Structure 1
Amino acid sequence: MPEASDGLRVAALSPEIVIGDLDGNLARIRDAIVAAGRRDARLIVLPELAVSGYVFADRTEAETMAITVDDERWDAVRAVIPADAVVVVGYAEKVGGQLYNSAAVLTRDARLADYRKAHLWGAEKLVFDHGTEAGLVVDTSFGRLGVAICYDNEFPEVPRRLALAGADVLALPVNWPLVPRPEGEHAPELIQAMASARSSRLPVVIADRWGSERGVDWTDGTAIIDERGWIVAFRAVMGATATLSRAAVREKSLPPHNHLFDDRRADLY
């Protein structure tokens, strides 16, 4: 178990999300944040498009469920965030005539950043505009936080880019549709996340959906993966909670003869 000074308590939450019920979703998001605060979480991650729901009929419908960064309803969310915590929550962001699949990075006192998803999956391309950054790194009270959304993480360049930029942990809001897989196997997206965590020594906090929405069944893949690529918390009631070692993340030497980043042969790739 990491020492208290080294350990970072994180939580991946999956409250009930009802498409179109923005006020109800925000209320359940607030309740989930309060519960995670009771477990001393300093990083709290909620799913992709948690404020709105995901399975839109078209762009026009999504626009009716989108909110701006200065919507007054954010104030109530920030008010329940523990004093030393950071919350990452997915929402549909309206910016003039643009519409983004975004993640807000919030503290009680500030809005640290808004990340707009760069890699749009499936019908998302018919609804949203592409973001212009492949993941984001934000300075926080506990270190450097990487942020990406769902399909972003299936491109190995994204978590590697964030790790090279000094991210200590990756917050990953997702909506993983359930797909067939061999008996006893993890979801393919979870396996990819485990691999990227190991290859970049970058732990991942994944908040996924459960249940179904408009005929789409969700994977229920909420999990916390440590810097070695192992799942350390998975599918708990109201979310998964774990303590990560920041020192282990920042140590890139692989004794006795290797270094995670220095050994890269970028001239050959």
Structure 2
Amino acid sequence: MSEARPAPETVRVAAIQMNSLGEVDPNLARAGDLLADAARRGARLAVLPENFALMGAHATDKLHAAEPDGPGNDPGNNPGNNPGNNNTPIQDFLSQTAAEHGLWIAAGTIPIASPEADRVYPALCVYDDTGQRVARYDKIHLFDVGLPDSAEAYRESATFMAGSNPPMVIDSPFGRIGLSICYDLRFPELYRRLAADGAEIVVAPSAFTYTTGTAHWHILVRARAVENLVTMIAPNQAGHHASGRRTYGHSVICDPWGQVQSEARSEANEVVIADIDRTRAAKLREGFPCLTHRRLA
């Protein structure tokens, strides 16, 4: 039996935690089941984690799964109107699933072809409840790091091309939504820009490593919520992947006061649900106007 939808002043949202595999098709099937569950439970906005469609055994696997930027941009590209198109299975899936369930989906990330054959854009695409794509944000901060006291190292710039897009905030029936991805969480100036542009909700689809997640995941997500008085929806990858990488899980939804409303507790696929008060950010900003007290640009 479906759970009752919340009152009009609240909106039910979902952070979709995944343990993504090394092939696209089973990941899309798994994401489809999780999104259907979120919709059945009354969610109107669902956020998928970074690399939800592919966590390959090799960094270059994403190049073979790269798609041209396409379906969801206009009704003519909707898979329902173009069933013969098989060049963009991930985007087709997202557009069709959003329309099928009447669900807004923020899907981070999709490998979108770039001008360079050996790199792709890591794109966070947002689809409305009719299946129309309403936004695309390409990750601007790439995870090129070596972890302290460890041989663990990553160089996303080897296969990803950083986005040149400005910070992005979009309108929705649930308020203004700011877009960010994973490593972006370590750059508070981005979130300040999103807040200045009117963001009330910020999504942060992620694939935090187990090492960095254990140390910093909750601190960063909660800090971005507190600093900017926004709701943070932060789904994460979880568990072991084909490459041997382990991700942290603990997908969270935080309110604008930095309180964790809901959190995943396993390293499995999981739908994290919370009802968020659409008026809370505005009330907090009025009574606790720290955003207007800034003295440094």
TM-score of the alignment, normalized to the shorter chain, above 0.5: yes
Cα distance in 2 for residues equivalent to 1:207 and 1:54: 19
Change in 2 beyond 3 A, CA 1:187/1:39 = farther
Cα distance in 1 for residues equivalent to 2:289 and 2:56: 41
The answer for the alignment partner of 1:261 in structure 2 is 291
- Residue type of the alignment partner of 1:110: Q
Question: Alignment partner for residue 216 of structure 1, among 217, 238, 245?
Answer: 245
How far has the Cα of 1:136 moved from its partner?
A: 1.7
Instruction: After the TM superposition, list the runs of 4 or more consecutive aligned residues in structure 1 that deviate by more than 3 angstroms.
Output: 54-58, 252-255
Q: Which moved more, 1:130-139 or 1:80-89?
A: 80-89
Q: Which moved more, 1:220-229 or 1:71-80?
A: 71-80
Contact in 1 for aligned 2:250/2:264 (Cα 8 Å): yes
> Does the residue aligned with 1:218 lie in a helix, a strand or coil?
strand
- 1:8-27 to 2 correspondences below 5 Å: 8-19=11-22, 21-27=23-29
Question: Alignment partner for residue 227 of structure 1, among 256, 260, 264?
Answer: 256
The answer for the alignment partner of 2:201 in structure 1 is 169
Q: Which runs of 5+ in 1 are unaligned?
A: none
**2:121 matched to 1:100?**
yes
Please give the root-mean-square deviation of Cα atoms over the aligned residues, in Å.
2.1
TM-score normalized with structure 1 length = 0.87
The answer for the alignment partner of 2:148 in structure 1 is none
**2:62 matched to 1:62?**
yes
Question: Alignment partner for residue 205 of structure 1, among 202, 214, 233?
Answer: 233
How far has the Cα of 1:83 moved from its partner?
A: 5.5
The answer for the alignment partner of 1:40 in structure 2 is 42
Query: What count of residue pairs does the alignment treat as equivalent?
Result: 256
The answer for the alignment partner of 2:97 in structure 1 is 80
How far has the Cα of 1:29 moved from its partner?
A: 1.3
How far has the Cα of 1:27 moved from its partner?
A: 1.5
Q: Which runs of 5+ in 2 are unaligned?
A: 1-5, 71-86, 145-154
> Does the residue aligned with 2:185 lie in a helix, a strand or coil?
helix
How far has the Cα of 1:22 moved from its partner?
A: 1.0
Contact in 2 for aligned 1:117/1:148 (Cα 8 Å): yes
The answer for the alignment partner of 2:74 in structure 1 is none
- Residue type of the alignment partner of 1:260: C
Contact in 1 for aligned 2:203/2:234 (Cα 8 Å): yes
Contact in 2 for aligned 1:6/1:246 (Cα 8 Å): yes
Cα distance in 1 for residues equivalent to 2:272 and 2:92: 25
Give identity over the alignment, percent. Answer: 27
Cα distance in 2 for residues equivalent to 1:176 and 1:134: 23
How far has the Cα of 1:134 moved from its partner?
A: 5.1
